[in-house]
Amino acid sequence: MVLFVDVHHVFKHPIELVAQTHFNKYPTKREPFVERIDTLEQFKEGDLEYRKRVAICTNVVPSFMRKLAILNEPQILLQEEAWQHLKSRKLRLKSCNLTWAKYASMSEQATFREHHSNPDWTIMEQVGSIKINGLGFLGTLIEQFAQSFLNSGVQRGLDIMDEILVEKAEQLQSKTDSVEVAHEDQPHVCHDTPNILKYIFKNYNVKRAKKCNVTVDRQLFDINSQEPLSKTLLNLQKFSEFLTQCLVIE
């Protein structure tokens, strides 16, 4: 028997921030089941970034099932492969179990892409399947447990992502409020400065903002702007000297 899970979710944040959050969300106190993440392979070719990682997780199979020797593993290993296309703003994930691969197959595939109605939002589509090979009646029990585990795990993962993204958005908003500049003294940058700063605050860890003699209406830093932030990349080189004077970035 093959069991399936199908999930659709919208993150009200740009895909660059969503992807960054996905790759850094574990380990966390929010999910003690995931002990650590080990990166096995990582490289970049053109606009493609590839990662292969393994999650080392606590074995949460119920004790009565673990009386069977094959289920009494100290840890569960889950592998994830990720393909992030920077220019097209897409992220594709593929994961599977390494532990018990001879007896069971648990796989997930997920895609993250720019939302069709708001380029500053991200839509995620995820499908998963579970198949137990043999084991008789115990196999049926394991299937039921695995389906519950997969469903709850997907939901916990989404909740953790949403919580972290909200925290990051609040931190970024707080940092934008600390910046004060005067565009009267810098007329050549006042037009595009809000968009560029907005991109910087969303995608980089701004350590602190220096006092600067250029001011921009704080309303222009609205992180919910409908304008695609990717467009502001074209202006970054032009204003790099100005930003260096204004910001210290980790």
**What digits encode the pLDDT tens for the residues 181-200?**
444 444 444 444 555 555 55
Reported as a pLDDT band with limits 50, 70 and 90, residue 233 is very low
Question: Looking at per-residue confidence, does 205 or 115 come out higher?
Answer: 115
- Whether the model clears a pTM of 0.75, i.e. scores above it, the answer is no
pLDDT tier at 145, thresholds 50, 70, 90: confident
DSSP state of 232: G
Domains and CATH numbers, the chain: 2-172 (3.30.530.20), 178-249 (no CATH)
Whether the per-residue pLDDT at 129 is higher than 70: the answer is yes
User: DSSP H helical segments within 84-223, as ranges?
Assistant: 136-177, 193-203
Distance CA 109, CA 182 (A): 48
Does the pLDDT of residue 154 top 60, yes or no?
yes
Region 84-101: mean pLDDT is 95
User: Where are any strands of DSSP class E within the chain?
Assistant: 2-11, 34-45, 48-58, 75-85, 90-97, 104-114, 122-132, 206-209, 247-249
Question: Which of 232, 196, 237, 235 is closest to 214 using CA atoms?
Answer: 196
Decide if 19 contacts 50 (C-beta within 8 A).
Answer: no
Where is average pLDDT lowest: 25-39, 105-119, 175-189?
Answer: 175-189
Looking at the predicted structure, is the pLDDT value of residue 250 above 60? no
